[in-house]
Amino acid sequence: MAQSGKMVLPEEQVFYPPERFVRQANVKSREIYAKAQASPELFWALQAERLEWFRKWDKVLEWEPPFARWFVNAKLNVCYNCVDRHLKTWRRNKAALLFEGEPGDKQVYTYWDLYQEVGRLAAALQRLGVKKGDRVAIYLPMIPQLPIAMLACARIGAPHLVIFGGFSAEALRDRINDAGAKVLITADGGWRRGKVVPLLRNARLALDATPSVEKVVVVQRVGQEMELLSPTECWYHELLEEETPCPPEEMDSEDMLFILYTSGTTGRPKGVVHTSGGYLVGVTTTLHMTFDLKDEDVYWCTADCGWITGHSYLVYGPLANGATVLLYEGAPDWPRPDRFWQIIERYGVTIFYTAPTAIRAFMRWGEQWLDGRNLSSLRLLGTVGEPINPEAWLWFYQYVGQGRCPVVDTWWQTETGMHIIAALPGITPLKPGSATVPLPGLKVEVVDKEGNPVPPGQDGLLVLKEPWPAMMRTVYGDEERYVQEYWSRFPGKWYYFAGDGARKDNHHYLWILGRVDDVVNVAGHRMSTMELESALVEHPTVAEAAVIGKPHEIKGQAIVAFVTLKDEIFAAIKRGEWSWRETEDELKAHVTVKIGAIARPDNIYFTAELPKTRSGKIMRRLLRAIAEGKILGDISTLANPEVIAELKRRYGDQEV
């Protein structure tokens, strides 16, 4: 990293909340931790008063491990809480969404405007036959219609599944089929680095084999596809013409709000299920506490709505708090690497939430892109998605926050729904690289393989020992997988296993060490190595594949694949009829088609054999060590030790 050399990293630097910040903070006193600990249920019941309920709960929590029900028998509507409720106050004319498209087009939605469009889309969906409980797939660029579609679904009680616009047709198809979605909402395209992402074209490919889909609603964004091709397709703007807002459905606290697909340890993505009451209480409360959100703030979260961060902290959390949310469609370096700083200056952004991978890219582009930009509106910075290295933290603090803004590193997951470990910026001293301590009311521990707490300074596994309101409720259509993957790691203990390694320091601060399972985290995007491997072996040339994550300066991890080819292909290459390079390019393109550009391997190494144990298990640990140039450790269980020398040689060759 170009700038990192300038910074001296003291062993452990501590940043205390600035006096100015403390005076105005939403949470000013540490008492909140003791109170929440004394009675977490009372704590969450008090937080639930932030929302408007059609009927209050009979009981805060019903816990039959590993199944939780929060705010039992309470009734609410999530969309009503995010939109309609604000119309009764001065927020009616407040900006809810400030949108900037990549080409520079701008649009403002007040809460009233948002109500109109959400309500009309909800009515239109009902007219198309979408009923409470029906699933709706959303495959849109980051334009206002994305949060609008999510809220419209919530309004009529139809769980949505948002599929990130960077996913391929095949990935879209799998998710639609797993959820059995009835309607797909998409767009003719979106803008990314000056080019059109052809969403409708991808969607049409996907819809070849999605029997559940009855209607496709198409937003006109780029004006590329001018014709609709079948009676199942209809234009969004035409659909809304005749409609007036429909009333919100009364939903049970435990009714499903959305499904969001994420990667686990198997080849098949899993549909994480979130419900209504507990989820909304969780995200509304945490945003208020961790980001110190106020009515005057201009809040910008750079995540895409296709990920959980976009759901919890771009749509539901901020709008339930009545915030002004900035929405930007495109890339951070388009047309130049100062686009984000321009946006912050233009809109007077006060809270800026982004990912370490983006921060490391800004560092590489250099702080000269910040020169002359007025970022004095900023008062708080946040990060999420992967461990932040102290150098990136300090760069963010110094150059973007100008030494004035607390940097709140938030650890959480698709499954947790809400922030779990994060500072309360008015009271928690910050240590660069640590997500600090669990939020009030949450019981987090670092344990050994048996589930016993490990002493400070030792590595262990991160667990949550008690249920929390925004926790996932199940894996869609696969309860067994929910129980197995998350709750069965420590026999005799109902601990939620997060899949991350962690360490506590002497001040009980938590340091996240990354995934301990077969999940790679590339630029903050989760992918399972199995999913990548199955995409590779589906290619007709491939016999076997093993995928690992290798440390990468900007992206955190890069995807490296070790591949053995089928004999006939190998022979064809030997005869000169086909080349390694062509095979490599084709395999990279193949993975892009199967999953999406985010899954494209950085490197593919061909080898005659993969290192395996005598029982036939691929030893990924050895591949990782080879890729990182590390000492291999114990190789006594290896069935084919000769392959190591070969791999090392090959890895070295191709590296040059």
Task: State whether residue 267 is helix, strand or coil.
Answer: coil
280 versus 464: smaller Cβ distance to ligand WTA:
464
Nearer to ligand WTA, 261 or 605 (CB): 261
CB-nearer residue toward ligand WTA: 91 or 515: 515
Nearer to ligand WTA, 516 or 644 (CB): 516
Tell whether residue 167 is a contact of ligand WTA (CB under 6 A): no
Give the DSSP per-residue string, 306-347.
Answer: TSHHHIIIIIIHHHHTT-EEEEE-S-TTSSSTTHHHHHHHHH
HEC-encoded secondary structure of 123-153: HHHHHCCCCCCCCEEEECCCCCHHHHHHHHH
Which of 78, 40, 36, 50 minimizes the C-alpha distance to 277?
A: 78
Q: Which of 411, 468, 562, 651 binds ligand WTA (CB under 6 A)?
A: 411
Q: Cα separation of 583 and 592, whole Å? A: 14
Give CA–CA dist 283/496, Å, rounded. Answer: 19
Q: Are 505 and 434 in contact (CB under 8 A)?
A: yes
Applying CB under 6 A, does 409 fall inside the site for ligand WTA?
yes
Q: Are the C-beta atoms of residues 47 and 219 closer than 8 Å to each other?
A: no
Cα(24)–Cα(364) distance, rounded to whole angstroms?
A: 35
d(CA 277, CA 469): 8
Kindly state the smallest distance separating residue 260's Cβ from ligand WTA, in Å. 9
**Residues facing 638 on adjacent strands:** 613
Task: Please give the angle made by the CA atoms of 543, 546 and 550, to the nearest 5 degrees.
Answer: 150
Our CB check for ligand WTA shows the closer of 275 and 354 to be 354
Calpha distance 351→405 (Å, rounded): 9
Distances (CA, A) of 401 to 8, 301, 329, 377, 397: 18, 15, 23, 10, 5
Q: Where are the beta strands (DSSP E) in 27-166?
A: 59-64, 67-72, 75-76, 95-100, 106-110, 136-139, 160-162
CB of 594 to ligand WTA, least distance (A): 20
Query: H-helix or E-strand containing 546?
Result: strand 542-552
Q: How far is the CB of 521 from ligand WTA (least distance, A)?
A: 6
The yes or no reply on residue 547 touching ligand WTA (CB under 6 A) is no
Identify which of residues 387 and 451 has a Cβ nearer to ligand WTA in the complex. Answer: 387
The answer to whether residue 410 forms part of the interface with ligand WTA (CB under 6 A) is yes
Give least dist CB 502 to ligand WTA, A: 9
- For the chain, give the longest Cα–Cα distance: 76
Looking at residues 300 to 359 of the shown chain, list those that interact with ligand WTA (rule: CB under 6 A): 307-309
Under the binding rule (CB under 6 A), the answer on residue 475 touching ligand WTA is: no
Binding mask 376-395 for ligand WTA (x = CB under 6 A): --------xxxx--------
583 binds ligand WTA (CB under 6 A): no
Parallel, antiparallel, or unpaired: how do β-strands 75-76 and 95-100 relate? unpaired
Q: Which is nearer to ligand WTA, 222 or 532 (CB)?
A: 532
Q: How near is the Cβ of 414 to ligand WTA at its closest, in Å?
A: 3
In the bound complex, what is the minimum distance in angstroms from residue 532's beta carbon to ligand WTA?
16
**349 CB-contact burial (10 Å; exposed 0-12 / middle 13-18 / buried 19+):** buried
Judged by CB under 6 A, which stretch of 197-205, 339-347, 409-417, 600-608 contacts ligand WTA?
409-417
Q: How far is the CB of 651 from ligand WTA (least distance, A)?
A: 26
Binding mask of the shown chain, residues 485 to 514, with x at each position contacting ligand WTA by CB under 6 A: -------------xxx-----------x-x
- Measured from the CB of residue 387, what is the shortest distance to ligand WTA in angstroms? 4
By beta carbon distance, the residue nearest ligand WTA is 414
Q: Which is nearer to ligand WTA, 308 or 361 (CB)?
A: 308
Stretch that binds ligand WTA, among 7-15, 31-39, 212-220, 406-414 (CB under 6 A): 406-414
CB 159, min distance to ligand WTA, A: 18
**Count of C-beta atoms within a 10 Å radius of residue 482:** 21
CB of 309 to ligand WTA, least distance (A): 5
Binding-site size for ligand WTA (CB under 6 A) equals 23
Closer to ligand WTA by Cβ: residue 120 or 360? 360
- Chain centroid, CA 91 distance in Å: 29
The neighbouring-strand residues paired with 136 are: 160, 183
- Binding segment for ligand WTA (CB under 6 A), chosen from 48-56, 77-85, 405-413, 471-479, is 405-413
CB 422 within 8 A of CB 439: yes
- Between the CA of residue 122 and those of 158, 232, 529, 630, what are the distances in Å? 10, 18, 38, 56
Q: Which is nearer to ligand WTA, 182 or 489 (CB)?
A: 489
Structural element, H or E, at residue 556: strand 556-565
- List the x/- string, 63-102, binding to ligand WTA by CB under 6 A: ----------------------------------------
Q: Which is nearer to ligand WTA, 60 or 512 (CB)?
A: 512
Q: Name the one range near ligand WTA by CB under 6 A: 123-131, 224-232, 373-381, 404-412.
A: 404-412
Q: Please state the closest distance from residue 598 (CB atom) to ligand WTA, in A.
A: 12
Q: Which is nearer to ligand WTA, 219 or 520 (CB)?
A: 520
Could you tell me the smallest distance in angstroms from the CB atom of residue 607 to ligand WTA?
29
Considering the rule CB under 6 A, would residue 414 count as an interface residue with ligand WTA?
A: yes
> Which residues from 421-440 bind ligand WTA, rule CB under 6 A?
435
- Cα angle value 65/66/68 (rounded, 5°): 85
The secondary structure of residue 511, as a DSSP letter, is E
Residues 510-539 that bind ligand WTA (CB under 6 A): 512, 514-515, 521, 526
Q: Which residue has the tokens 């596809």?
A: 225
The single residue among 377, 413, 592, 640 that binds ligand WTA, judged by CB under 6 A, is 413
Nearer to ligand WTA, 329 or 386 (CB): 386
Which residue in the set 412, 496, 509, 651 belongs to the binding site for ligand WTA (CB under 6 A)?
412
Closest listed residue to residue 187, CA positions, set 157, 162, 155, 208: 162
Cα separation, 266 vs 275, whole angstroms = 24
Question: How far from chain centre, in Å, is Cα 400?
Answer: 23
Site for ligand WTA in 244-263 (CB under 6 A): 262
Q: Least distance to ligand WTA from the beta carbon of 433, Å?
A: 9
- Does the N-terminal peptide bond of residue 432 adopt cis geometry, omega within 30 degrees of 0? no
Give the residues lining the site for ligand WTA (CB under 6 A). 262, 307-309, 384-387, 409-414, 435, 498-500, 512, 514-515, 521, 526
